[in-house]
Amino acid sequence: MAMQPAEMTITQPRRARKPWTWERVYPILTLLPSIIAIAVFVYGFIVWTGVVSFTKWNTLVPDLSWNGFANYRAIFQDFRFQSDLRNLLFFTVLFVLVSMIIGLFLAVLVDQKIRLEGLFRSLFIFPMAIAFIVTGVVWQWLLNPSTGVNLILKALGLTHLPKWYVDITIVPSIPWGHIKFGLPLALLAVIIAAVWQMSGFAMALYLSGLRAIPDDLKEAAAVDGANAWTTFWRVILPQLNAVTVTVVIMLIHISMKTFDLIYAMTGPGAAFVTDMPSMDMFQTTFQGNHYAQGAAISIIMLLLLAIFIVPYLTYSLRGEKP
């Protein structure tokens, strides 16, 4: 839906009449400090980081001489960064899928006109109010292989207990560049903690989507004799397509920025099985003093995010009335 020209003239008739007044300048003056701040601290700094990523500044002393794509070549050939990309891929896919499914499932349950709805809803969302650092500290103990969840699994009679985040196994472990491609099992522990924290977000979004579907549509489908399962797939789910796009993009966005949780829970892990680009950038830059390589990693992170966010923002705002 493009802007309707007719509506534009309805909402903005004043401008045509009044040639110049302070009132036309005020909105821009109001916004000016923010525009400057964002122009400098977001766009200016991104350009600056971009420039740094093409320099030889890989020691404590800034050296801004041109280095071409050497830093990008270096990180893409680096065992650690290759591991990061693999980890980010598997983490994102599993985290997004599981959070989405659990979020949708819980939203449907909560939407069944249940008692104590507010209580259940609050319980599923409260981890969102907690810091990733707190989550990391607590789950680090819960998924510590010698205690926590494993005590319960042991009591249930399991003999082969999972090693959680200390596991260095990669499944299926296909040689790829310098690394083995596959799912590092250690990531499952981080995914569990992340899903605990974020699935409530998916639930909240899906619930608001479900509430927007008129009741008579839900009831009509039920009366038609379609059983609940078919109703859900044929009638309800297609209505939630837009919500699903939002859920997926927002979860991808969170996943790509994952930093605190890893920092508090596992660190980069043995052989970087739980490392992420965010962590790599932080340590490469501020502990290793390889500023230019750190900058290159952050530019790759930015590009990966922009692939999802820019079309989403364009699409979200385009449908709005002017």
Partner 1 sequence: MSLRRVNRAVLYLVLCVFAAGYLMPVYVALITSLKPNSEVDLARMWQLPTRIDLSSWGQAFERLSPGLATSLELAIPATIIVAIIGACNGYALSKWRFPGSRTLFQWLLFGMFIPYQSVLIPLLKVMDSIGLYNSVPGLVLVHVIYGLPIATLIFRNFYVGIPDDLLEAGRIDGNGYWGLFRSIILPLSVPAFVVIGIWEFTQVWNEFLFAATLTTPPHQPVMVALQNLSGSQIVQWNVQMAGAIMAALPTLIVYIFLGKYFVRGLLAGSVKG
Beta bridge partners of 153: none
Minimum CB distance to partner 1, residue 69 (Å): 18
Pairwise CA distance, residues 306 & 304, whole Å: 6
Closer residue to partner 1 in complex, CB, 170/240: 240
Minimum CB distance to partner 1, residue 125 (Å): 6
Interior/surface letters 289-313, b for 16+ CB within 10 angstroms, e for the rest: ebbbbbbbbbbbbeebeeeebeebe
Closer residue to partner 1 in complex, CB, 170/275: 275
Closer residue to partner 1 in complex, CB, 52/170: 52
What separation in angstroms does the CA of 87 have from each of 228, 237, 306?
A: 38, 30, 19
Paired tokens of 60: 């404590």
* DSSP letter for each residue of 110-175: HTTT-TTHHHHHHHHHGGGGS-HHHHHHHHHHHT-TTSTHHHHHHHTT-SS---GGG---EEEEEE
Closer residue to partner 1 in complex, CB, 19/33: 33
* DSSP letter for each residue of 190-259: HHHHHHHHHHHHHHHHHHHHHHHS-HHHHHHHHHTT--HHHHIIIIIHHHTHHHHHHHHHHHHHHHHH--
Minimum CB distance to partner 1, residue 251 (Å): 10
Pairwise CA distance, residues 125 & 198, whole Å: 8
Minimum CB distance to partner 1, residue 21 (Å): 9
Closer residue to partner 1 in complex, CB, 220/313: 313
Minimum CB distance to partner 1, residue 79 (Å): 20
DSSP strand E in the chain: where? 170-176, 179-184
Minimum CB distance to partner 1, residue 181 (Å): 24
Closer residue to partner 1 in complex, CB, 6/172: 6
Euclidean distance between the first and final Cα of the chain, in Å?
11
Residue 58 gets which letter from DSSP? -
Minimum CB distance to partner 1, residue 93 (Å): 19
Closer residue to partner 1 in complex, CB, 109/271: 109
Minimum CB distance to partner 1, residue 199 (Å): 9
Which residue do the tokens 């379609």 mark?
Answer: 226
Closer residue to partner 1 in complex, CB, 170/264: 264
